[in-house]
Amino acid sequence: MTPNQVSRRGMMLVLSSPSGAGKSTISRALLANHDNLTMSISATTRSIRPGEVNGKDYIFIDQAKFDAMVAEGEFLEYATVFGNSYGTPRGSVMDALNSGQDVLFDVDWQGTQQLRQNALEDLVSIFVLPPSIEELERRLYSRAQDTEEVVKGRMARAHDEISHWAEYDYIIINDEVDISVSTAESILTAERARRRRQIGLADFVRGTGVS
Amino acid sequence: MTPNQVSRRGMMLVLSSPSGAGKSTISRALLANHDNLTMSISATTRSIRPGEVNGKDYIFIDQAKFDAMVAEGEFLEYATVFGNSYGTPRGSVMDALNSGQDVLFDVDWQGTQQLRQNALEDLVSIFVLPPSIEELERRLYSRAQDTEEVVKGRMARAHDEISHWAEYDYIIINDEVDISVSTAESILTAERARRRRQIGLADFVRGTGVS
């Protein structure tokens, strides 16, 4: 057995932030640079849109099936947004973690709270803060097609989201995006070196006879 | 207030490993590349050696002073080795942590256990494992000037040290030293992004008005 063959349990990596804080850029960079990290795929009751692929973008199911999965405790987290239900199926995530894959989640503070309740040991949570209120407003207002009402609603949701920053393991203030990406990558690397995720270590130590 | 000005509490970073596993190389690289990280300076009762500087290599004190410091609980950890006493003064470490400096410790499993008891929240512990027993023996035997007896004693201590790997937060198997250094640097970067060490975050969030 070589060190690279020490078996690992994957982690659930959560990135939360208000809209406009730069979370999507960080997520994309992480996914592009790390083969062992995949995006979690949610089940949803909303209709499939042109260009979407069932099982890749979402798992499209009807409300009866969704409700049955809720009743069976098959979601790690779920929520209803604008009348559509979304949930993270437990089975596929646990399969990934068991095979040593890391899974990235793009969920808000409410989703993160549910993940914490259901899978605390596997969870690594990062909150991305904007560098200033002016910068956040600038980013939210710069989508020129939106009415002021829409922007105000978005700003209110941003404040609500930010009010939960203290529930997260790590905080990244996204001032320079390159540094933020590098910090997120360090968190991924460090958490992979965490003893309790390297579940093959006892076998490794025994196998090498070093102890 | 800019993101860089968010005040931080430093961490106590412990690297433990058996002799011959490559810990010193990793320590040197960390200290060379990270200005904000300094080596902990122990107090000791042993005599000063030519070339050593009091207050830099060690703080040289007599046994009466050492015993008084033990009695006052002024050591974060201490031990007696070959009749000489060594201890880490609590005051200077806490001053460093309070000012946002990170402090590196080169202590064995017994020292780490004491640090854990005295300062768990500030402690980040890494254990460096050799990639194989053959490699460890090769490294220990290659110091040609040593007698077989000395090497055997060193090997026994190595086994004793390794038997405590499971008490550490992070495990690095030191197969390729560049990767090990990079992993240790990721741990340092990640732990600096940990919410509870960024003690100025509440002020930052309030100050920016983002929440």
Is residue A180 situated within a structural domain? yes
Is residue B12 situated within a structural domain? yes
**pLDDT for the residue numbered A61:** 97
Is residue B116 situated within a structural domain? yes
Chain A: nearest CA to B23, how far in angstroms?
Answer: 16
Is residue A83 situated within a structural domain? yes
CB atoms within 10 A of CB A49: 9
Token look-up 């690297």 returns B15
Is residue A209 situated within a structural domain? no
Q: What distance in Å separates the CA atoms of residue B166 and residue B171, rounded to the nearest whole number?
A: 9
Q: Which residues of B touch A166 (CB under 8 A)?
A: 195, 201-202
Whole-structure pTM value: 0.93
Is A29's pLDDT higher than 60?
yes
Is residue A210 situated within a structural domain? no
CB atoms within 10 A of CB B117: 11
Domain residue limits at B181? 3-40+101-205
Q: What distance in Å separates the CA atoms of residue A114 and residue A42, rounded to the nearest whole number?
A: 14
Interface probe with B: pick from A160, A175, A211, most Cβ of B within 10 Å:
A211
Is residue B94 situated within a structural domain? no
Q: What distance in Å separates the CA atoms of residue B195 and residue B211, rounded to the nearest whole number?
A: 16
Q: Which residues of A touch B20 (CB under 8 A)?
A: none
Q: For A117-141, what is each residue's pLDDT tens digit?
A: 999 899 999 999 998 878 888 877 7
Q: Are A209 and B134 in contact (CB under 8 A)?
A: no
Token look-up 């993940």 returns A115
Q: What distance in Å separates the CA atoms of residue A8 and residue A189, rounded to the nearest whole number?
A: 13
Mean pLDDT, residues B173-186 taken together: 96
Q: What distance in Å separates the CA atoms of residue A76 and residue A87, rounded to the nearest whole number?
A: 7
Q: For B29-68, what is each residue's pLDDT tens digit?
A: 999 999 999 999 999 999 999 999 999 999 999 999 999 9
CATH number at residue B177: 3.40.50.300
Question: Angle at the Cα of B147 (from B143 to B153), degrees rounded to 5?
Answer: 90
Q: Are A127 and A168 in contact (CB under 8 A)?
A: yes
Is residue A211 situated within a structural domain? no
Q: Are B90 and B107 in contact (CB under 8 A)?
A: no
Number of independent structural domains in chain A: 1
